[in-house]
Structures are given as structure tokens and as C-alpha cells.
């Protein structure tokens, strides 16, 4: 049997009535879960009506499913969805079959079908399964940030991906791997996975082989900072569309290793976009960041430098026929080493959950929505020879990190408290402390998505804005490359920072830069004495 409370394991209560009435809903489950789930959507009062069930594995007798049509596989669901779109799928899979559940959710996500999870009732009644500390809680990130993900125009995207050779750098990363999965769903001629991490490349290659066995693919173990080898690969593989997601993204680490940020974020971008122009690729899309706006960190400043370089190639791009664009967005929930996996680990260890500052806010989007809109942006028209198009994803309202922590902790069945608040004493609900750790080097309290002078305009797709920005001159690009080349392997952090700040003058002074300036003044005084 299954429980009637949708998404019970997350602590969220979602009403399946109201706006869901009249929508096409299917039930997805196994022989052990469907018989208990189906009657609730056929005879239950106040619930939306189901139109069919999707039986995974060995299908039960259809007569036990209240007469609902039975679709025997996810492939059949796909076919039916193409004929008459499905609005929502209610999924109930035993906890022991987590791999099956994850595959189902991934397939539904690819089809653009909203998924709602129902925990089997027998599992809820088991003590261990119902204990928050011991169960794997499946949390919908979109609900955490109270955001309805935007869909994409699959017809428009198909025109630039279907039958094309699509290359993704950083293919094993959070955004890169999602780009791979989305692109593979458009029947490309080939998916080219470029990644320097052996394990990450192996994982995404295996994932695509399982989920898209008919899509040709190439796994390329390669570091894009090697410009010569990058060009060799592009000449051999001749990609049509290139998504450049490879980058160093962790702010505190890049504060300590600025030359690595210059090498990977700037020269890695230069290597890839140069190769695109050399082989006449149709489109190049740089994955940028809101941290590139008025940067306070090395990571943000080097992403800004990468944007500047792409801008400066507009004339050459027009001659080669390559359309250049950049997509700038904020944080993505659930990416590797981001806040949610960290909090998940902290909760599993008994806490506390750490938050840097109670005032801090961030723009958030789910990994899938961010990657989907990046793919959508690649389908927007680009004028050849014009300055590189810059697209900014509509991230909605910024979210206070402390509020996000409260929701996340409550979804795990705990009651959050801070040292500034009174610790709850209700013995029925375990407590979880939130501890403030202070802002780390390079971090800002609030991020921005665009400069004041960048006048954002709507595009043909809701959720994507654009602005026109003057291209950097060829002379500026040459000077930029020469100056950064001199420090890309420099071990003196202060020298690297000085070179970055000369080219990104609005970069805010960091504690590292201040310390270096103080040391320089001290040495000068000693020499003078």
C-alpha cells in the first residue's frame, strides 16, 4: 500500500486538488505500490483524476488498478506524452529500489513532466524508515526556493541541436552533466564529452550510455587549458555547438589559488573559443556567473575576464560564422559541494548546520532549470559580427540563506534554532542548531546579475533577458592576454591579483590583496631604512 500524502518524506504537503483538477496525471509505480495508489486517484475525493498508470517491471493485473489504462514502460509514457501531453506524474517506488526511482525521475525531467513522490505507506510505518536521521530524504529543490521552473521551447532548441555534433566542456560537472543529458534528448548527431576528471568523465559517459543508448558519443579526457591539444580535438571532431561549462567555481579556494583561476577560467575559455573560431563552429556558449558583476572574488573577476575576451572576438567571430553568446546566472541548488550537499552531510552527522551570515542572500535556480535555459539561450538568434550576446537568466527574487536553511532542516524532520533564539524543548521533534560562521574571503552579502549600465531587455523566451555590451577592441584583447599570460603560473598571489585588478578595476579589494599591499609597504620601508 502507499501513503496518501504526496511528498511525505520531505515534510512538505502539496495539494493535488485545486489547479490540478482537469490536468492529465499518470501514476508511476511497481507491482507493490500501484494497487494501493490507484484507488486514491479514482475514488478519492478532492484529488485530481489519473488518466493511466505506468507499471514498472512486472505489471500487475490491470483489473487491480481500478480499470485505468496500463502503460507498460517509460517508453510508452513518452509516446503517449508526445500525442497528448501529460501534466504530472505521481511516483511511488520502494526505497530499496532507489536506482529505479532516480532513473524514473530523470526521465520525467527530460520529458518536462512534473514529478511528485509518494512514500509507500508500509515504509512510513516502519520505525527506521520514518526516522529523519536514518532515511534518505528526497527534497524538491524548487520547493525550497518557492520557484516554478520555466519550461523550454523544444521545437526551437531542436533546430540547433538535432542532428548536430554537440560538445560540452566540464561535461562531468553539475551543470555540464545536465547539459549533456538535455542535449542527448534532442537526438544530436554526436555528444562530445570533454572533461579532465577521469571519474567524472566515466560517470557521465556511463549515464548517457544507459539512458540514451542510441545517441553516438565521444568521451574525451582533456584539460581545455592546453590550447594546442584543444585545437587538435576540435579539428578532428568538428563540433557544431559548444557549451563551455568547465571552470573553477569555489570562491574561497580561488582566493588562495588565483593563478589557477586565471589559467582555468580565462585561458580555458580562450582555448575553447579560439578553437571554435578556427573550425567554424556554429555556436559557442560561455557559462558565466552573477559573481562576474562588480566582483569581490578572484573567481568572479576571472569569469568577468573570460566575458571580456569573448566580447573582444566579435569581429573574428563574424568572419568565421560562429555565433558567440554568454549566459550569466546565480547559484544552482544541489550542485557538487554547494550548500545543500554540505547541509545534508552536516545533518547526517548530527549538526550543526552552518550559515555564513544571517543577512546573506543569493539568487537560486535548480540545476535542471539553469541547464535548460542555457540550452534555450543557444537557440536564440545571434547576429553574425555583432558583439557577443549576453543572456541573463531570470533568477526571480533573491533568497535569504538563513530562510533556506530553516526550510531544509524542517524538511528533514528537525526544528531549527540559532544561538540567538530560544532552543525549542518539544520532545516530539528533534532540534537542529544553525551556527553562523562569518563571511569567507571573496564573498558578498548580496549578488547582482547585471551592471547598472547593462540595460536588460526581454527576449523571445520568458525567463531569459539580454543586453548589448560594447565589444572589447582587438588591441585590448591582445593586451589582456599578454598581461594575464605573464601571471597564469605565478606563485605570488599579490602579483596575480594586481594583474587581475588592473583589468577589472571595479573588483573590490579583498583581504588577500590588502595583506599583500601591507607587506609591500613594509618591504619598501625596510629597503629605505
DSSP-based three-state secondary structure for 487:
coil
Taking the C-alpha atoms of residue 529 and residue 524, their distance in angstroms, rounded to an integer, is: 9
* Cell representation of residue 438: 562569518
* Cell representation of residue 97: 529500489
Outline where 189-320 has alpha helix (H): 198-211, 227-237, 251-256, 258-261, 268-279, 298-312, 314-320
The CA-atom distances, in angstroms, between 235 and each of 221, 228, 232, 280 are: 16, 11, 5, 10
Taking the C-alpha atoms of residue 511 and residue 337, their distance in angstroms, rounded to an integer, is: 24
* Cβ(413)–Cβ(429) below 8 Å: yes
* Cβ(359)–Cβ(445) below 8 Å: yes
What pairs with residue 508 in β-bridges? none
Q: What is the length of the chain?
A: 529
* Cβ(391)–Cβ(355) below 8 Å: no
Neighbours of 42 (CB within 10 A): 15
Nearest residue to 367 (alpha-carbon basis) of 135, 144, 94, 78 = 144
DSSP state of 529: -
* Cβ(371)–Cβ(410) below 8 Å: no
Q: At what angle do helices 227-237 and 268-279 cross, to 10 degrees?
A: 30
Spell out where 455-510 has E strands. 457-458, 464-467
Please calculate the CA angle 167-174-406 and round it to the nearest 5 degrees: 155
49 is catalytic: no
DSSP state of 120: B
What pairs with residue 399 in β-bridges? 362
Which residue out of 270, 291, 444, 493 is catalytically annotated? Answer: 291
Taking the C-alpha atoms of residue 86 and residue 80, their distance in angstroms, rounded to an integer, is: 8
Please calculate the CA angle 241-294-292 and round it to the nearest 5 degrees: 20
The CA-atom distances, in angstroms, between 473 and each of 205, 296, 370, 376, 477 are: 40, 25, 31, 29, 6
Active centre residues (catalytic): 291
Amino acid at each position: 500500500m502507499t501513503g496518501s500524502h504526496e511528498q511525505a518524506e520531505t515534510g512538505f504537503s502539496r495539494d493535488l486538488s485545486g489547479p490540478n483538477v482537469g490536468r492529465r496525471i499518470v501514476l508511476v509505480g511497481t507491482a507493490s505500490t500501484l494497487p494501493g495508489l490507484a484507488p486514491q486517484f479514482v475514488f478519492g475525493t478532492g484529488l485530481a483524476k489519473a488518466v493511466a498508470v505506468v507499471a514498472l517491471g512486472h505489471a500487475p493485473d490491470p483489473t487491480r488498478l481500478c480499470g485505468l489504462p496500463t502503460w507498460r514502460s517509460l517508453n510508452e509514457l513518452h509516446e503517449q506524452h508526445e500525442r497528448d501531453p501529460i501534466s504530472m506524474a505521481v511516483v511511488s517506488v520502494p526505497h530499496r529500489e532507489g536506482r529505479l526511482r532516480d532513473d524514473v525521475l530523470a526521465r520525467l525531467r527530460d520529458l518536462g513532466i512534473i514529478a511528485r513522490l509518494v512514500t509507500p505507506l508500509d515504509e512510513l510505518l516502519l520505525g527506521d524508515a520514518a526516522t529523519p536521521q536514518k532515511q534518505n530524504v528526497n527534497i524538491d529543490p524548487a520547493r525550497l526556493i518557492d520557484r516554478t521552473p520555466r519550461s523550454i521551447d523544444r521545437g526551437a532548441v531542436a533546430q540547433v541541436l538535432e542532428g548536430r555534433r554537440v560538445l560540452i566542456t566540464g561535461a562531468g560537472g553539475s551543470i555540464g552533466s545536465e547539459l549533456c543529458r538535455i542535449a542527448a534528448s534532442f537526438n544530436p548527431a554526436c555528444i562530445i564529452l570533454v572533461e579532465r576528471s577521469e571519474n567524472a568523465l566515466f560517470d557521465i559517459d556511463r549515464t548517457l550510455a544507459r539512458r540514451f543508448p542510441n545517441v553516438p558519443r565521444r568521451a574525451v579526457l582533456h584539460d581545455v587549458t592546453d590550447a594546442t591539444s584543444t585545437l587538435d580535438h576540435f579539428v578532428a571532431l568538428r563540433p557544431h555547438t559548444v557549451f563551455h561549462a568547465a571552470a573553477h567555481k569555489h570562491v574561497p579556494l580561488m582566493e588562495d589559488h588565483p593563478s589557477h583561476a586565471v589559467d582555468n577560467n580565462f585561458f580555458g575559455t580562450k582555448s575553447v573559443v579560439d578553437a571554435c573560431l578556427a573550425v567554424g563552429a556554429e555556436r559557442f556558449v560561455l557559462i558565466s556567473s552573477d559573481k562576474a558583476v562588480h566582483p569581490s572574488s578572484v573567481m568572479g573577476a576571472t569569469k568577468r575576464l573570460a566575458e571580456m575576451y569573448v566580447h573582444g572576438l566579435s569581429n573574428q567571430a563574424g568572419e568565421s560564422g560562429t555565433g558567440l553568446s554568454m549566459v550569466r546566472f546565480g547559484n544552482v541548488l544541489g550542485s557538487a559541494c554547494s550548500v545543500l550537499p554540505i547541509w545534508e552531510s552536516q545533518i547526517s552527522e548530527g549538526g550543526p548546520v552552518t550559515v555564513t551570515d544571517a543577512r546573506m542572500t543569493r539568487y537560486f535556480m535548480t540545476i535542471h532549470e539553469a541547464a535548460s535555459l542555457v540550452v534555450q539561450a543557444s537557440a536564440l538568434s545571434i547576429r553574425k559580427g555583432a558583439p557577443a550576446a549576453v543572456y541573463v537568466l531570470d533568477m526571480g527574487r533573491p533568497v535569504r540563506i538563513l530562510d533556506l536553511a530553516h526550510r531544509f532542516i524542517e524538511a528533514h524532520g528537525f526544528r531549527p534554532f540559532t544561538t540567538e533564539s530560544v532552543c525549542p524543548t518539544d520532545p516530539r521533534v528533534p532540534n537542529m542548531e544553525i551556527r553562523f560562521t562569518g563571511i569567507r574571503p571573496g564573498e558578498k552579502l548580496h549578488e547582482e546579475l547585471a551592471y547598472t549600465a547593462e540595460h536588460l531587455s526581454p527576449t523571445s523566451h520568458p525567463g531569459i533577458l539580454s543586453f548589448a555590451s560594447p565589444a572589447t577592441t582587438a588591441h585590448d584583447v591582445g593586451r589582456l592576454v599578454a598581461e594575464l599570460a605573464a601571471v597564469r603560473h605565478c606563485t605570488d598571489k599579490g602579483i596575480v591579483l594586481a594583474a587581475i585588478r588592473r583589468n577589472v578595476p571595479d573588483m573590490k579589494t579583498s583581504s588577500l590583496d590588502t595583506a599583500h599591499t601591507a607587506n609591500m609597504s613594509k618591504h619598501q620601508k625596510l629597503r629605505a631604512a
